[in-house]
Chains A and B, each alone.
Chain A
């Protein structure tokens, strides 16, 4: 008990900073919005197909980015967790490389590659696969590509940690009991890596839901996601009420998604001893 109390003291500075600089302003914004306009800003959002479409686009882009990051990231993470190569550290640096460049710079990089006369179209035309350039830049596809590039390191890092903690002998044991490599993955590795999958997905989904620079730069002027819409309401429409309503709805959507993920997997997590002994 004594020990728990002193541990709480250690958490106090960060908790205080979060409270002062995050919780207080958020509450202030909510109180001010409702105080000035009542719930009309929220009602407007849900009654306008234009806004609902933006919410759906945001969720769709985030779900796709998360799913593709997981599918692409998992094999990489598994390899990284199991390899004994001396180049492991070099590979780790390569995985972390995107972190060294800002999201804006990376988006410009993708513009060069995906543009109408970009590298990709030039290449495809040169080898004769297409005759007219593909429209990728300024579409949802470009946003998803940029988003995956931005967020896949988070997914891989979450997965490496948990995959490394799985005893390789457990996989050998499954094989010796007659399980094919695929069955071993399905019944042993996958369930044991679930905590990493969950944390990776929550991380990538959340960051994708709230991203601004990538959709702004790669999606073109007609492409809107929740975060870009908030900025548009403030800078273009000068409608602070709508902006704060959108922020709150975005936050609620993320919390709801996290709740669904956590509840949906709670049965598994419980088996793993609340994740403690996983």
Chain B
């Protein structure tokens, strides 16, 4: 149980700056996710916190104390590795008991604590197996148990779900969250998967090129990315270039390839009349209108706002993705639009389609 603070943390490899003046505060018991693509500095940050590599400058404070000069083995930071890094020559029991044996605890206490943690990760009865005799999911839970059993003040998880199949992923997501909440350990997850980040963490930190781009709750980051880069990384699929034509108190009218698109005005973001901008929207937020819907709209004066962002386009391709269908639509703007309805029964390639972009689901970024 501890607070963690990174102050101006910087790491350089030769000329390359992997982490660039990072500032971050993590509350006691909080679970945060460092989210970013490969080479964004998230793993380097993790390794600096663990003490495997030294910062170039800046400091790492645990409970207010600078641990920069403390060697890794005295930091009491638990770490979970992407490839689990279990000791191949030890049984499950020995793997988990390793840290406690190093602390020279009495045998009875070691047994009690190992049994307790194995029950927590639901691996009871597997003590005598070797890692190579376990499935990927079981190995992962051994790694988690091993990192937790020493009661670290901070827990670091490096891509905890990346090596698992879809079903196990969901299961482990729930498991990790349950255990973390139960033990109340301050936890940092490193991941490149935005779904993993938003589903696990209390707070998400989006990184790129060694810098923090956005900090926020999963919902904030998922629904309102603060830059086009973050939007792209968070899975926004459709990006449309335009120019702000008119500023109204609660909305902006944007001229996109000659069409007027209405956007709910974002809080505190400086986009004003005459600015070149980019609009972004998630696939699942783009509505497809049937002829019936169109008819209703024509007579319904209240649906005016909806009518405003209604566009006609041509279907370029239809790709069935299982849980949804990805459609490429051209002709609305210079850029293609990608709706992804769950149940698609509309026209196929070459057909005409009506789309609606809800004003409140559009994010706007100044170029």
Binding site for B on A (CB under 8 A): 167, 169-170, 172-181, 183-184, 187-188, 191-192, 268, 271-273, 277-278
Contact = CB atoms under 8 A, between A and B. Distances in A.
Interface stretch (B95-103, B183-191, B256-264): B95-103
A192 B89 contact: yes
29 contacts: A167-B83, A167-B85, A169-B81, A169-B85, A172-B50, A172-B52, A172-B85, A173-B86, A173-B87, A174-B98, A175-B52, A175-B71, A176-B50, A176-B72, A176-B75, A176-B78, A177-B98, A177-B147, A178-B103, A179-B99, A179-B102, A181-B73, A183-B102, A187-B98, A268-B89, A271-B89, A271-B130, A277-B88, A278-B89
Nearest to B131: A277
Given A183-B102, A277-B132, A176 B79 contact: yes
Nearest to A165: B88
A172 B82 CA distance: 13
B118 to A, nearest CB: 16
Chain A CB within 10 Å — which of B75, B79, B86, B88 has the most? B88
A256 B88 CA distance: 30
B4 interface: no
Contact of B89 (A167, A175, A183, A272): A272
A70 B99 CA distance: 29
Nearest to A170: B85
A178 B77 CA distance: 9
B150 interface: yes
Interface in B107-150: 130, 132, 146-147, 150
Given A170-B85, A175-B52, 18 more contacts: A172-B79, A173-B146, A175-B72, A176-B73, A176-B75, A176-B147, A177-B146, A177-B150, A178-B99, A179-B99, A180-B73, A181-B73, A184-B73, A271-B89, A271-B90, A273-B88, A277-B88, A277-B132
B163 to A, nearest CB: 13
A177 B86 CA distance: 12
Contacts of A272: 88-89
Interface string B31-64: 0000000000000000000111000000000000
Contacts of A273: 88, 130, 132
Contacts of B87: 170, 173-174, 188, 192
Nearest to B81: A169
Contacts of A178: 73-74, 76, 99, 102-103, 150
A191 B50 contact: no
Contacts, number: 80
A89 B79 CA distance: 33
Interface residues of B, number: 29
A173 B81 contact: yes
A7 B293 CA distance: 70
Chain B CB within 10 Å — which of A179, A191, A192 has the most? A179
Nearest to B90: A271
Nearest to B96: A177
B16 to A, nearest CB: 14
Given A169-B85, A271-B130, A277-B132, A177 B99 contact: yes
